[in-house]
Amino acid sequence: MLAPELLYCDDSLLIVNKPAGLLAVPGRGADKQDCLYARIQQEFPDALVVHRLDMATSGLMVFARSAAMQRRLSEMFREREVQKRYVAVVAGNVEQPTGEVNLPIVADWPNRPLRKIDAELGKPSLTRYRVLGFGESVHASIPDVTTGKTTSHPTTQPEDGCQVVGYSHSTRPSRNDDQVAGYQHERSIGSEPSPVRPDVSKGEHVVDTTRLELEPVTGRTHQLRVHMAAIGHPILGDALYGGDASSAPRLLLHARMLSFTHPLGAEILTLVSEAPF
């Protein structure tokens, strides 16, 4: 069992790139004990879970290195002090360049682990999206989860022995919760031209898919998958909500970016892991 791919680490926390197909934490049964958490603890026995990703989802995860840091980071996720951006490829052409899905989600108890939209019993759930492109052919890589790696990056070796893969950080004045939640969203929407749709009249090939940037403002289980399916654009490869697991070789959902103020200082950490599809 090889060490996972680290993108950032210090004495307080770790940020790791999880491959698709690997559990984030142990499941029930002897065959479900291999997971990212177990692999992390092989190298960092003090690592503690802060949040999770679905087994089928790849991308960035944060681990704390003390109980106090675990409480603080968990609070930051709960209070929306952590900016999160995902990339997904969904079925169909999403018409609006930006938008929100504001539909309440509840556990579908007779069909667990499924979730469903329920206007009466569901918890408030909000997802923002931005169209990145249309009609892309799907070339998803299938990582070997025995290696714990999904991509190759140039690495450096800091003094504390942690392997770090290209991260950026900055210091900015502190913001209130609403400002933090909206800052990256507003900047990214205004920083790039609108995606160009294929022109069928000119004979341009059309693949009926849309690449999206997704921002889960709330953090419900399966939120992005449920919301995309609810608006008629299931994520490709989603066997639970897409209805067609053969539409892609894996779930095309990747936790691409995390940004937050380091709990022990004013430094803002921004970590990016590009999608392997």
Whether 216 and 86 have beta carbons less than 8 Å apart is answered as yes
| Residue 11 known to be catalytic | no
Query: In whole angstroms, what is the distance from residue 149 CA to residue 237 CA?
Result: 20
Q: Hey, what long-range contacts does 106-111 have (CB within 8 A, 24 or more apart)?
A: 107/221
Alpha helices (runs of H) in the chain, residue ranges in sequence order: 36-43, 67-78, 177-191, 223-230
> Which residues lie below 8 Å from residue 226, measured CB to CB, with a gap of 6+?
103, 105, 115, 116, 117, 125, 220, 241
Two tokens, residue 53: 């990703």
Q: What secondary structure letter does DSSP report for 235? A: B
Phi-psi region of 59 (alpha: psi -120 to 50; beta: other; left: phi over 0): left
Query: In whole angstroms, what is the distance from residue 224 CA to residue 246 CA?
Result: 19
Two tokens, residue 27: 């499941």
Q: Kindly state the helix (H) or strand (E) to which residue 260 belongs, with its residue range.
A: strand 253-261
Q: Which of 54, 118, 208, 244 is catalytic?
A: 54
Q: What secondary structure letter does DSSP report for 127? A: E
Taking alpha carbons only, the member of 118, 101, 102, 119 closest to residue 110 is: 118
Query: Which residues are tagged catalytic?
Result: 54
